[in-house]
Amino acid sequence: MGMVTGLIFYVGPNLGRPLPAPENLMLDDDGSLCQTFRQAILKSPEAFTLQIELAPQPKLFCNFAVCGQAAGVANWWRGKTTEAITAYLPGVDEDDEYIVERALALKPYPISLHLWHEVLKDKRPIYATFLLTPASAKDRVVATAAAALANSFFSTLGVA
């Protein structure tokens, strides 16, 4: 399984200072998280919800849905708060990427057209995580899980 390019943008409330992107956790799990996502994708290829537990971090929930045939969106949350949204663009079908754009536009997420166009200009496959809360800006579980899902999803499509 190859590594894919990922972008992270903080789009939450203005805190008056720049926030560094969270780093991935260095997991010593022999790819267990990627395998969990891969199994979920193979079992329910159109949509699934998972609970992610990476002790000692708090539980994180993921709802993933395929847009069209070969693109997707993940919603990451704890409790009732959506922490982040990730768009997965494999570069297989431009129409699918438009469906992702429309799915993101249906909700009141603060993702500017400028940021979205930055994502669209990048080489495929790519995933882009939009952090929505100040807490998500430090959340290494979101960063780690978004990357693991990208590798699993894109590898099932044969683009990673």
DSSP 59-111: PEEEEEEEETTTEEEEEEEETTEEEEEEEEE-SS-HHHHHHHHHHHHHTT---
pLDDT for the residue numbered 54? 85
> Per-residue pLDDT tens for 105-143?
888 899 998 899 999 999 999 999 999 999 888 888 998
Q: Which pLDDT score is estimated for 130?
A: 95
Res 6: pLDDT: 92
Which of 55 and 18 is assigned the larger pLDDT? 55
- The whole-angstrom separation of Cα 25 and Cα 17 is 24
Write down the pLDDT at residue 3.
65
Using pLDDT thresholds of 50, 70 and 90, give the confidence band for residue 4.
confident
Q: How far is CA 140 from CA 41, 60, 136, in A?
A: 23, 11, 8
| Percent of the chain with pLDDT strictly greater than 90 | 64
Closest CA to 145 of 97, 82, 84, 56: 84
Nearest to 59 by CA among 50, 67, 68: 50
pLDDT tens figures, 63-101: 999 999 999 999 999 999 999 999 999 999 999 999 999
Whole-structure pTM over 0.95, yes or no? Answer: no
For residue 148, name the pLDDT band (cuts at 50, 70, 90).
Answer: very high
Average pLDDT taken over every residue of the chain:
89
What are the extents of the domains in the chain? 5-14+23-157
pLDDT class of 50 with cuts at 50, 70, 90:
very high
